[in-house]
Chain A
């Protein structure tokens, strides 16, 4: 089966539309008949990733690849990179700026939540070059 490829650009300048990409992906997954539980997990992973793109990396690209066994979510940016990945994965640790925190973000739960709700997660990052986060969520239904 040819996997379905969804790709979106995440605008790093517009905070008010942050979250729209994950919302669209969620609606698409629903229309495809994917179980509500899987849809919710994908939505949370995507949303957290999208917010990270906006808050830390001035935007980037969000992709969802829907196969018959799993859904792969990829978030790519050309941002500053993550200096200490282990630290970034700790709950409560955040490098979000003051303006962002005042809006209620930057609680330090982004990457930990993404890890919690996905089945597999990989972070490739290089200082000064950018970061790519790849997550896999297994589909429980049979095709």
Chain B
């Protein structure tokens, strides 16, 4: 898979922090630095968040990319509005976007609102024919996780495109009408809170062609907006956001826009998503009709490219929402076909031991046996996230048993004439049997 999380080799010291926090086991540390196993990476951004050396980064388009176009439109994600202290009026942010170089602004929240309306109509028309639970397609990381690990739930995922994809189409259409310029002279740029959306801007999950010309990090835009915002005395009235649209920025927003009453679940955080989907996949928890999934804490406000603490940003979004009308953008002549995906999602399994069942079973047995022989500390010193991961790497030919320093010590002990009774000499401290019974606390 393509992904937008990357490593700055100069900053990486090989500390294994990212590896320990990767929910899909997509990182190994070798030769002094982290390596991303791209087929397993779902762009959740956890590694970017936890890296103590700022070595893990998201690849984004540079702000200067906008100047390659004659007419430049900014598509701010609604989570942007929660990044600023004391922001009373969204128009200040939008006016500042024009001041820093964009020619126009099309709020992603407007497209989100239209998608909510079209989805409500679809839910009402489909009745019992909708899969249960119906799963939101808005978070690309969650969708990729389902395609990788929960194939039974692929048919449950909504076939609606992402709000930014609709926003890009509408924005370009509007810009063509306004300026008379050809489509390729118009630059439509998403201001994104996360790397997953950078990837899907470049490689849409379910569209045949790109609709977004670039994705700029919210952190990057923030530092440019702040001085511009401070200079504004009379903001232009540019915002057409509504409560429903802006609400998508935080967990629960999309689900409440669907107005399905209490029968929805909004789950945030990748570990929570994995747990809930495991339960759903076996047909449990059947009373939920809609499942909103956000890989980031509290939803998009928790994206790793956002600047503000997710809880603080969510609070600000809630306060802004109270001042907004419930609804402001109508689908009008748009129908569900205008927001329908162009391609199906495919099962993309990862971590399968072999194509041949017999060989896979043999490898599985070897992995289990080898795991028993390893200490079980999951210390990460070998550069794999757990003893079982190392065992699998060894069996599949990517690592060797010597990589485990405790196995190394065991070998050295035997070579120098030690025996079973000296086991404590090579065992990791948590597993040693001898020593003083002195209390640690």
Query: Which positions in A face B, CB cutoff 8 Å?
Result: 1-2, 4, 22-23, 26, 28, 30-34, 36-37, 40, 43-44, 47, 66, 68, 139, 141, 143
Q: Are B360 and A33 within 8 A (Cβ)? A: yes
Q: Interface segment, B69-77, B191-199, B348-356, B370-378?
A: B348-356
Central interface residue in A33, A36, A68, A139, by most chain B CB within 10 Å: A33
Q: Is B358 an interface residue (CB 8 A)?
A: yes
User: Inside 8 A of A141's CB, which chain B residues have their CB?
Assistant: 357
User: Inside 8 A of B281's CB, which chain A residues have their CB?
Assistant: 40, 43
Query: Across the two chains, which residue of chain A brings its CB closest to B352?
Result: A33
Q: Are A33 and B358 within 8 A (Cβ)? A: no
Q: Are B152 and A40 within 8 A (Cβ)? A: yes
Query: Which positions in B face A, CB cutoff 8 Å?
Result: 151-152, 278, 281-284, 347, 349, 351-358, 360-361, 364-365
Q: Are A4 and B361 within 8 A (Cβ)? A: yes
Q: A33-B354, A40-B282 are in contact. List 7 more A-B contacts (CB 8 A).
A: A31-B353, A31-B364, A32-B353, A33-B349, A43-B282, A143-B357, A143-B358
> In the complex where A22-B282, A36-B152 touch, is A31 in contact with B360 (Cβ < 8 A)?
yes
A60 to chain B, nearest CB (A): 20
A116–B342 alpha-carbon span in the complex (Å): 36
Query: Across the two chains, which residue of chain A brings its CB closest to B150?
Result: A36
10 closest Cβ contacts across the A-B interface? A36-B151, A33-B352, A4-B361, A32-B360, A1-B358, A143-B357, A40-B152, A43-B282, A33-B360, A143-B358
A110–B192 alpha-carbon span in the complex (Å): 47
Q: Are A1 and B361 within 8 A (Cβ)? A: yes
A84–B388 alpha-carbon span in the complex (Å): 45
Query: Across the two chains, which residue of chain A brings its CB closest to B365?
Result: A4
**Total A-B pairs in contact (CB under 8 Å)?**
52
B3 to chain A, nearest CB (A): 22
Query: Across the two chains, which residue of chain B brings its CB closest to A139?
Result: B357
A33–B364 alpha-carbon span in the complex (Å): 11
Query: Across the two chains, which residue of chain B brings its CB closest to A35?
Result: B151
Q: Are B358 and A68 within 8 A (Cβ)? A: yes
Query: Across the two chains, which residue of chain B brings its CB closest to A117?
Result: B283
A30–B351 alpha-carbon span in the complex (Å): 9
Query: Across the two chains, which residue of chain B brings its CB closest to A22?
Result: B282
User: Inside 8 A of A139's CB, which chain B residues have their CB?
Assistant: 357
A137–B168 alpha-carbon span in the complex (Å): 49
A66–B364 alpha-carbon span in the complex (Å): 12
Residue of A32, A44, A143 touching B282 (CB-CB under 8 A): A44
Q: Are A33 and B357 within 8 A (Cβ)? A: yes
User: Inside 8 A of B365's CB, which chain A residues have their CB?
Assistant: 4
Q: Are B364 and A36 within 8 A (Cβ)? A: no
B24 to chain A, nearest CB (A): 13
User: Inside 8 A of B360's CB, which chain A residues have their CB?
Assistant: 31-33
Residue of B352, B354, B355, B357 touching A30 (CB-CB under 8 A): B352
Residue of B151, B282, B354, B355 touching A47 (CB-CB under 8 A): B282
Q: Are A66 and B283 within 8 A (Cβ)? A: no
User: Inside 8 A of A32's CB, which chain B residues have their CB?
Assistant: 352-353, 357, 360-361, 364
Q: Are A4 and B356 within 8 A (Cβ)? A: no
A34–B347 alpha-carbon span in the complex (Å): 13
User: Inside 8 A of B358's CB, which chain A residues have their CB?
Assistant: 1, 68, 143
A33–B80 alpha-carbon span in the complex (Å): 42
User: Inside 8 A of B364's CB, which chain A residues have their CB?
Assistant: 4, 28, 31-32
User: Inside 8 A of B357's CB, which chain A residues have their CB?
Assistant: 32-34, 68, 139, 141, 143
User: Inside 8 A of A34's CB, which chain B residues have their CB?
Assistant: 357
A109 to chain B, nearest CB (A): 10
A113 to chain B, nearest CB (A): 9
A52–B357 alpha-carbon span in the complex (Å): 30
A71 to chain B, nearest CB (A): 11
Q: List 8 A-B contacts (CB under 8 A).
A: A23-B278, A26-B282, A31-B351, A31-B364, A33-B349, A33-B353, A33-B360, A44-B282
Query: Across the two chains, which residue of chain B brings its CB closest to A3?
Result: B361
A44–B365 alpha-carbon span in the complex (Å): 24
User: Inside 8 A of B353's CB, which chain A residues have their CB?
Assistant: 31-33
A2–B364 alpha-carbon span in the complex (Å): 13
Query: Across the two chains, which residue of chain A brings its CB closest to B347?
Result: A36
> In the complex where A4-B365, A23-B278, A36-B151 touch, is A44 in contact with B352 (Cβ < 8 A)?
no
User: Inside 8 A of A44's CB, which chain B residues have their CB?
Assistant: 282-283
User: Inside 8 A of A66's CB, which chain B residues have their CB?
Assistant: 361
User: Inside 8 A of B354's CB, which chain A residues have their CB?
Assistant: 33
A65 to chain B, nearest CB (A): 11
